[in-house]
């Protein structure tokens, strides 16, 4: 299957704290897991991704970890700032053969960073 | 600087009146996608073009059609919009050798009266 479950649906933190969003996937053949940030009224923006041959990837204040055995991956944001407030979507890439493939998204997490 | 451009950003149409949304890209990517995103939900893939090959998702209603006259442009046609079609419509692109990495446009918000 191509199910992606994302938790929590909402997350509120104080500026400077860390935020963690977790996703679980079902397609064991998936090998690519991006995270998108969507601000109000805008399209999703790719912020970080990870492939199945690594367990962790970091880019400044954001990091993603992947546990292929357990089929879950997480987004970590440290030293949060008010401009980090947005909806965050995880996704998995599933290849179904030929030109048949798709990104399946989680339901999103609304992150609010309070000043 | 804009890489994936969608016009218009907001579109109001009447129930049953055909509407066309447009997407253009300056990335020269071979693959273009259309997603529907309803309020507080995840984007849902409608269909995509792999070069000129059209790939429809099984659960995309027949009411939704698409055209891709050239590499840069792709259109979403909604033949008879219903109230349930009000949503944000997102266009995305990717390279053929990196299909998983998709770049999204800003979206067109469609309102059906």
Rounded Cα gap, residues B12 and B31, in angstroms: 28
B88-105 per-position pLDDT tens digit: 999 999 998 888 889 999
Residue A99 confidence class, pLDDT cut points 50, 70, 90: low
Residue whose token pair is 């179904």 = A96
Rounded Cα gap, residues A10 and A89, in angstroms: 12
Say if residue A95's pLDDT is above 80.
no
Let me know: does B17 contact B110? Beta carbons within 8 Å.
no
Say if residue A50's pLDDT is above 90.
yes
Mutate to test the interface with A, among B3, B29, B30, B42 (most CBs of A within 10 A): B42
Q: Which residues contact B91 (CB under 8 A, 6 or more apart)?
A: B4, B6, B23, B25, B32, B33, B34, B35, B74, B76, B104, B105, B107
Set of chain B residues whose Cβ sits within 8 Å of the Cβ of A39: none
Cross-chain Cβ contact A103/B102 below 8 Å? yes
Beta bridge partners of A89: A36
Residue whose token pair is 């009266």 = B113
A53-84 per-position pLDDT tens digit: 889 999 999 999 999 999 999 999 999 999 99
Cis? peptide before A8, omega within 30° of 0: yes
Nearest-CA distance from B82 to chain A in Å?
22
Mean pLDDT of chain A: 92
B25-70 per-position pLDDT tens digit: 999 999 999 999 998 899 999 999 999 999 999 899 999 999 999 9
User: Three-state DSSP class for A82?
Assistant: helix
Q: Which two tokens stand for residue B82?
A: 């219903």
Chain A segment 84-103 residues within 8 A of B by beta carbon are: 89, 93, 99-103
Given this model, what pLDDT does residue B79 score?
96
Cross-chain Cβ contact B101/A107 below 8 Å? no
For range B20-29, the mean pLDDT:
95
Cross-chain Cβ contact A45/B105 below 8 Å? no
Let me know: does A64 contact A84? Beta carbons within 8 Å.
no
Residue in chain B nearest A10 by alpha carbon:
B40
Residue in chain B nearest A44 by alpha carbon:
B104
- Give the CB-side neighbour count of residue B83, counting CA atoms within 13 A: 1
For range A30-54, the mean pLDDT:
92
Higher pLDDT, A29 or A72: A72
Rounded Cα gap, residues A5 and A108, in angstroms: 9
Given this model, what pLDDT does residue A88 score?
97
Set of chain A residues whose Cβ sits within 8 Å of the Cβ of B53: 99
Say if residue B86's pLDDT is above 90.
yes
Cross-chain Cβ contact B90/A41 below 8 Å? no
B74 at A interface, C-beta within 8 A: no
Given this model, what pLDDT does residue B1 score?
60
Neighbours of B71 (CB within 10 A): 17
- Give the CB-side neighbour count of residue A70, counting CA atoms within 13 A: 10
Cis? peptide before B8, omega within 30° of 0: yes
* From A34, A100, A105, residue closest to B43, measured CB to CB: A105
Given this model, what pLDDT does residue A28 score?
84
């Amino acid at each position: 299957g191509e199910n992606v479950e994302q938790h929590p649906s909402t997350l509120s933190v104080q500026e400077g704290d860390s935020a963690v969003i977790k996703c679980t996937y079902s397609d064991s053949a998936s090998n690519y897991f991006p995270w998108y940030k969507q601000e109000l009224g805008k399209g999703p923006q790719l912020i970080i991704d990870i492939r199945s041959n690594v367990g962790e990837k970091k880019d400044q204040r954001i990091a993603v970890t992947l546990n292929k055995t357990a089929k879950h991956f997480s987004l970590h944001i440290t030293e949060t700032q008010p401009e980090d407030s947005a909806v965050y979507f995880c996704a998995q890439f599933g290849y179904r053969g030929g030109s048949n493939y798709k990104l399946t998204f989680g339901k999103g997490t609304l992150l609010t960073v309070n000043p | 600087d804009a890489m994936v451009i969608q016009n218009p950003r907001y579109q109001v149409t009447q129930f049953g009146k055909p509407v066309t949304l447009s997407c253009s890209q300056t990335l020269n990517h071979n693959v273009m996608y259309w997603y529907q995103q309803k309020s507080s939900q995840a984007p849902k893939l409608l269909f995509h073009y792999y070069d000129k090959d059209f790939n429809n998702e099984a659960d995309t209603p027949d009411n939704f059609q698409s055209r891709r006259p050239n590499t840069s442009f792709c259109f979403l046609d909604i033949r008879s919009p219903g109230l349930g079609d009000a949503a944000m419509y997102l266009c995305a692109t990717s390279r053929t050798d990196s299909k998983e990495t998709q770049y999204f446009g800003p979206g067109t918000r469609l309102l059906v009266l």
